Amino acid sequence: MKSFIIFLIVVVSVCILITVNAKAADGEKVFISKCAGCHSLELALKKDYDQKKWVSTVERMKGFGLKINSSETSAVAEFLASREKK
């Protein structure tokens, strides 16, 4: 019984880790595939913006011709904002 509970805890932890990592990787993937077309990724990586400022910056990039949907926008904003806090 005890080892079954430990097994359950391990399974749940692995699931949480996979979810968190998948989310982070997603925003990074979108960033690399969508943002390198017009300028270097370095340009964005140098900025110290929060999530909200990133959303508005990405929205502004649409005006230059960026094609991105709203879930990709929030994924990129989250990736870039979380990166800056480290």
27 token code pair:
């925003």
**Judged by CB under 6 A, does residue 37 bind ligand HEC?**
yes
d(CA 85, CA 16): 22
**Judged by CB under 6 A, does residue 57 bind ligand HEC?**
yes
**Judged by CB under 6 A, does residue 82 bind ligand HEC?**
no
Got the DSSP string for the chain?
-HHHHHHHHHHHHHHHHHHHHHHHHHHHHHHHHHHTTTS-HHHHHT----HHHHHHHHHHHHTTT----HHHHHHHHHHHHHHHH-
**Judged by CB under 6 A, does residue 52 bind ligand HEC?**
no
Rank residues 24 and 66 by Cβ distance to ligand HEC and give the closer one: 66
**Judged by CB under 6 A, does residue 25 bind ligand HEC?**
no
Stretch that binds ligand HEC, among 4-12, 13-21, 43-51 (CB under 6 A): 43-51
Stretch that binds ligand HEC, among 7-15, 21-29, 64-72 (CB under 6 A): 64-72
